Homo-oligomer: A and B are copies of this chain.
Amino acid sequence: VSRNVADTRRRLLEVGQLEVYLHGFQGAALDRILTRAGVTKGAFFHHFPSKTEFGYRIVEEVVAEKIAAQWVRPLQGDADPLETIAVEFERGAAGLRRRRPILGCPLNNLAQEMNPLDDGFRVRTLAVFENWRRSYEGALGRAQARGVVRPGLDLGDVAHALVAQIEGILSLARNSQRPEDLTIGARGLRRSLESLRVD
């Protein structure tokens, strides 16, 4: 048994995120997490004071990173954001299709379940969503300045709509468990993105 501190903590967070992704936060059983992570209850409660705080750390340290890696960092350069967003969606969709069941967006799933019940989750997931939305707004603004995106758009609204559309598509795919709904959704997202481009 490893006694490496950071390892145990990290393993718990990653196994926990997967459990929550699969069963929801309330449905996630600590016992299952512990078995899967090969960690005992004592170790868990040494690192985290409660299941709820553990959930907060999952948002802050695991889910936030996943969102940043998929939706924020690819837009940091000056590549065409409209194309980048579409490509990243398709890359993500390909990942989702690869395993059953289709699980959708870990951030949205968790937020849907817990935000109306618990403010701690609400403020943490909201920070991640805002980071995402602002990164879209910023990238679209820079592209607008370069003459790629049409002028005269409220980019805050546009960024919100894109995030909404992406989350909506992933929701419907999770609901239907049909891979083709990801493909249909990708086409719809591209249409929305292209409608923003200067002709």
Q: Which residues of A contact B (CB under 8 A)?
A: 22-24, 26-27, 101-104, 108-109, 111-113, 115-117, 122, 125-126, 129, 154, 156-158, 160-161, 163-169, 171-172, 174-177, 181, 184-185, 187-188, 191-192, 195
* Cross-chain contact of A161 among B113, B157, B158, B185 (Cβ < 8 A): B185
Q: Let me know if A164 and B168 touch, CB within 8 A.
A: yes
List the B residue with the shortest CB-CB distance to A122.
Answer: B177
Q: Let me know if A164 and B169 touch, CB within 8 A.
A: yes
Task: Report A135 CB to chain B, min CB distance, Å.
Answer: 16
Task: Report A99 CB to chain B, min CB distance, Å.
Answer: 11
Q: Let me know if B174 and A161 touch, CB within 8 A.
A: no
Contacts A24-B24, A160-B185 aside, 6 further interface pairs with beta carbons under 8 A come to: A22-B116, A108-B171, A108-B175, A112-B171, A126-B176, A158-B188
With A113-B113, A116-B22, A116-B102: A122-B175 Cβ-Cβ less than 8 Å? yes
Complex-state Cα separation, A181 to B156, whole angstroms: 11
Q: Determine the chain B residues whose CB is within 8 A of the CB of A113 once the complex forms.
A: 24, 112-113
Complex-state Cα separation, A126 to B1, whole angstroms: 42
Complex-state Cα separation, A164 to B129, whole angstroms: 18
Q: Let me know if A175 and B27 touch, CB within 8 A.
A: no
Complex-state Cα separation, A22 to B129, whole angstroms: 22
Complex-state Cα separation, A117 to B187, whole angstroms: 28
